[in-house]
Structure 1
Amino acid sequence: MALHLPQAASLPFGSLTKMLPLNKTSSSVSAISKSFNATTSLKIQCKAPSVIVSDQSQQVSRRSGDFKPDVWHYDYIKSLDNNYKEHAYEEESRMLRAEVRVFLSDTVNPLQQLELIDTLQRLGLAYHFKSEINKMLENIYSVDKFKNKQNLHATALEFRLSRQHGYDIPTDVFDSFINDEGDFQTSLSQDIKGMLSLYEASFLLMEDETILEKATDFTSKSLRDFMSRNPGHELTSQVKHAMEVPLHWRLPRWEARWFISEYERMPNMNSNLLQLAKLDYNMLQAMYQEEVKSNIRWWERTGLEEKINFYRCRVVDNYLWGLGMKEEPHVEKLRRVIGNLCAIITLTDDMYDVHGTLDELELFTEAILSGKISVRHLGLRPDGTMVEKRQA
């Protein structure tokens, strides 16, 4: 199954529906989930008129946002039945995690430790190994292995990972790579791996860190030159990926999908780590699908889709806001709450920006401020969780 990483601003239909193929030798995996092409025969769920319309009952002319129909077919999503919820996969995951922990404990070289931490993060597995990662970083940070060393890749990687995990690491770790004019040494442009690491590290800059601003400019030019001269190099795909959007700006789950395919082609790939990454990706997909189903059911229970037609129906898109913020299993409630609240915010935004008249919006605002209208009217508690309707 071909895998493609979407841009963060353009999330494809398959991002929440497709699974990764596991190795055929996997003991507990008997089949690969079928990939559906749900972009055909889509049911139009919402549509805003493209011209100003007249409300015949009140003789009010209303604007139109000309919103496009939702690309997500809700009936299709609700019909998804994902086998990766089964306990057999959890047992396989537990066994693979144990093997990866042995691999982590056997890795003692500081640079290899940093590269392994980076790999775990990009594969979407770091949440399983938080204590091991913290221990490695604490040891590397306290000993300061790479300061004043001529290894740009190691120094930049340590800098980026340390800052990501909250360590106070200054930019003077790059002093040994600066010339007398205060710029990066031009000879560094030949070290493509180092350039790529420095490029990614430069996006964790803080205010007034001009050396990292220079690093972004210097590495961007060097990496673009490298791509034009070496279209078939083993690092070209990683460089191209980084130049599209830096790692620090990417959504972790979409990065994991892309990097799993990239890691599979690497010569030093660890098979247990790869298998765990694929299995964990599929198990999380199953969890996300159940969460978004719940949000869709809540939206349909509100009845708003049948009552009004001026808003953007974007239930799945709104759920993805929460997924982009936190992807770990233990924050399921947060993702669902953010998705539901974003749906309400989108509706309210369209009401103010497109549909309502000034008089109507003043009354609506007063009703909200006085408590006559609240999220409870849409089936939400004050904390954003859903209120289940009682059975008659």
Structure 2
Amino acid sequence: MSLQVSALLTSITVAKQDTNRRSANFHPSIWGDHFLSYACNSVESDDTKTLQELKDEIKKMLFSKVNRPIDKLGLIDEIQLLGVSYHFETEIDELLDQIYQLHQDSDSKDDNDTYISILLNFDYLDNMVIEFPVFRDSNGNFKASLMEDIQGLLSFYETTNLRGTEKTILDEALVFTTTHLEPIATELSTPLAAQVKHVLNQPLYRGLTRLEARHYMTIYQEESSHDQVLLTFAKLDYNILQKLHQKELSGIFK
């Protein structure tokens, strides 16, 4: 009997030693308790209220009357670049349908406006056919007038990066846009030049939406024509979402 008890105690001791030996190789997290500090990062009710008020103002801006549809498309493009378009998906779709219908019903169409209207929002207009021949002159070359609008040219470049593996007109357009955008990025010091340089390095669709939005905020706020309501809304939305992500991370870490 005593031999059995002795053997049992020995096996328990050995098992305990094995357990201690296995867990001795586990290293503590290099983050320490850093993420636990996020547990108290709750969204303030005042921030939520302010966000909703700003959101209502932007909705009014989207449907306010303007003389040129291109101005409205520019606003939509800014909303997308600032990473807050998910707040206005229904409104943007409705507005784009209206603008597209007006363009189709128009008797006189300006080539440059047509070009910008389509390309500024290429990622939204998946139901439209982009007729690149309207951008060519009688010799089959891209029109010189396309180089006059840098924002439009930048959007054209973004579009070319969505090309497939087959040889298409987008390959030719990529050479055209790159050739004319690269000098701008090196010669100018304006916020637009900074945006061009960033896009040439990494097209928008290849980046993470929130990181690209954070980068664009620094460019957008330097533009003299920026809308303060839209910029404040984007920054507040970014901060609120960051707090939510931090709190979720704290829960996962626990």
After superposition, the Cα gap between the structure-2 partners of 1:158 and 1:128, relative to the gap in structure 1 and judged at 3 Å, is same
Deviations 1:219-267 (A, max 9, x none): 1111112233x23244211111111101121211001111112111112
Matched AA of 2:232: Q
CA-CA distance at 1:157 after TM superposition:
4.8
CA-CA distance at 1:189 after TM superposition:
3.5
* Equivalent residues of 1:148, 1:176 under 8 A apart: no
Report matched runs for 1:355-370 at 5 Å.
Answer: none
1:171 maps to which of 127, 130, 133: 130
Matched AA of 2:118: E
Say yes or no: does 1:210 pair with 2:210. Answer: no
Aligned mates of 2:188, 2:228 — CA distance in 1 = 27
* 2:44 counterpart residue number: 86
After superposition, the Cα gap between the structure-2 partners of 1:207 and 1:213, relative to the gap in structure 1 and judged at 3 Å, is same
Aligned mates of 2:127, 2:164 — CA distance in 1 = 11
Aligned mates of 2:228, 2:204 — CA distance in 1 = 24
* Equivalent residues of 2:118, 2:130 under 8 A apart: no
After superposition, the Cα gap between the structure-2 partners of 1:280 and 1:98, relative to the gap in structure 1 and judged at 3 Å, is same
User: What is the TM-score normalised by the length of structure 2?
Assistant: 0.77
Q: Which structure features the higher share of helix residues? A: 2
Report matched runs for 1:1-392 at 5 Å.
Answer: 73=31, 75-80=33-38, 83=41, 85-108=43-66, 109-144=68-103, 149-151=110-112, 155-159=115-119, 161=121, 163-165=122-124, 167-172=126-131, 174-180=132-138, 182-186=140-144, 188-206=146-164, 208=166, 210-228=168-186, 230-297=187-254
| Matched-pair identity in % | 32
CA-CA distance at 1:271 after TM superposition:
1.5
Matched AA of 1:80: Y
What SS does structure 1 have at the residue aligned with 2:176? helix
Matched AA of 1:135: E
* 1:11 counterpart residue number: none
Structure number with larger C-alpha Rg: 2
* Equivalent residues of 1:84, 1:282 under 8 A apart: no
After superposition, the Cα gap between the structure-2 partners of 1:209 and 1:169, relative to the gap in structure 1 and judged at 3 Å, is farther
* Equivalent residues of 2:119, 2:155 under 8 A apart: no
CA-CA distance at 1:92 after TM superposition:
1.2
Deviations 1:309-365 (A, max 9, x none): xxxxxxxxxxxxxxxxxxxxxxxxxxxxxxxxxxxxxxxxxxxxxxxxxxxxxxxxx
What SS does structure 1 have at the residue aligned with 2:83? coil
CA-CA distance at 1:282 after TM superposition:
0.3
After superposition, the Cα gap between the structure-2 partners of 1:233 and 1:264, relative to the gap in structure 1 and judged at 3 Å, is closer
* 2:19 counterpart residue number: none
CA-CA distance at 1:185 after TM superposition:
3.3
After superposition, the Cα gap between the structure-2 partners of 1:159 and 1:224, relative to the gap in structure 1 and judged at 3 Å, is closer
CA-CA distance at 1:74 after TM superposition:
5.4
After superposition, the Cα gap between the structure-2 partners of 1:290 and 1:107, relative to the gap in structure 1 and judged at 3 Å, is farther
Matched AA of 2:46: A
* Equivalent residues of 1:160, 1:204 under 8 A apart: no
* Equivalent residues of 2:103, 2:109 under 8 A apart: no
CA-CA distance at 1:207 after TM superposition:
5.9
Aligned mates of 1:283, 1:76 — CA distance in 2 = 20
Identify the range of structure 1 (75-84 vs 281-290) with the bigger mean alpha-carbon deviation: 75-84
After superposition, the Cα gap between the structure-2 partners of 1:84 and 1:272, relative to the gap in structure 1 and judged at 3 Å, is farther
After superposition, the Cα gap between the structure-2 partners of 1:232 and 1:268, relative to the gap in structure 1 and judged at 3 Å, is same
What SS does structure 2 have at the residue aligned with 1:294? helix
After superposition, the Cα gap between the structure-2 partners of 1:234 and 1:289, relative to the gap in structure 1 and judged at 3 Å, is closer
* 2:22 counterpart residue number: none
CA-CA distance at 1:204 after TM superposition:
2.9
* Equivalent residues of 1:179, 1:185 under 8 A apart: yes
* Equivalent residues of 1:107, 1:113 under 8 A apart: no
Aligned mates of 2:82, 2:171 — CA distance in 1 = 28
After superposition, the Cα gap between the structure-2 partners of 1:99 and 1:72, relative to the gap in structure 1 and judged at 3 Å, is farther
* Equivalent residues of 2:195, 2:216 under 8 A apart: no
* Equivalent residues of 2:41, 2:244 under 8 A apart: no
* Equivalent residues of 2:55, 2:233 under 8 A apart: yes
